[in-house]
């Protein structure tokens, strides 16, 4: 199975800050990577697919990059509605696996 490791597990930031979340795969997955945002009590929402493609309707302050084993999700200017938990997911092979999550909290 491909293990997905996210860091940090949590980050405290202020509105307007730039936030970067890292996701590392235990083996190469090309660009078969997605990022999701989840708010408490809600279903996750797809933000990025294919490592860097922005899902329709997602604000352009979200961006993804990387290929192979190392990936990043960047929020360029954090907004109040961005405080949430973020998950990466690999779709290179079964079983599909998620990272452990990164909680973005208000500083």
Partner 1 sequence: EVQLVESGGGLVKPGGSLTLSCAASGFSFSNVWMSWVRQAPGMGLEWVGRIKGISAVETTEYAAPVKGRFTISRDDSKNTLYLQINSLKVEDTAVYYCTTVSNSGEFFKYWGQGALVTVSS
Give contact residues for partner 1 (rule: CB under 8 A): 1, 32, 34, 36, 38, 43-46, 49-50, 53, 55, 87, 89, 91, 94-101
As beta bridge partners, residue 7 has 22
* Nearest CB to partner 1, comparing residues 41 and 80: 41
* Nearest CB to partner 1, comparing residues 55 and 65: 55
* Residue 77 Cβ vs partner 1, minimum distance, rounded to whole Å: 25
As beta bridge partners, residue 65 has 72
* Residue 78 Cβ vs partner 1, minimum distance, rounded to whole Å: 22
CA 74 to chain centre: 8
Structure tokens at 93: 């092979």
* Residue 65 Cβ vs partner 1, minimum distance, rounded to whole Å: 17
* Nearest CB to partner 1, comparing residues 38 and 63: 38
Contacts of residue 59, Cβ cutoff 8 Å, sequence gap at least 6: 79
Cis preceding linkage at 97, omega within 30: no
């Amino acid at each position: 199975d491909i293990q997905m490791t996210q860091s940090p597990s949590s980050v405290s930031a202020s509105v307007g800050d730039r936030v970067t979340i890292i996701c590392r795969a235990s083996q190469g997955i090309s660009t078969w990577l997605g990022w999701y945002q989840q708010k408490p009590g809600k279903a996750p929402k797809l933000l990025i697919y294919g490592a860097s493609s922005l899902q329709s309707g997602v604000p352009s302050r979200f961006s993804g990059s990387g290929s192979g084993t190392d990936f990043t999700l960047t929020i360029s200017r954090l907004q109040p509605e961005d405080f949430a938990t973020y998950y990466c997911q690999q779709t290179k092979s079964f079983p599909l696996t998620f990272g452990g999550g990164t909680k973005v909290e208000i500083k």
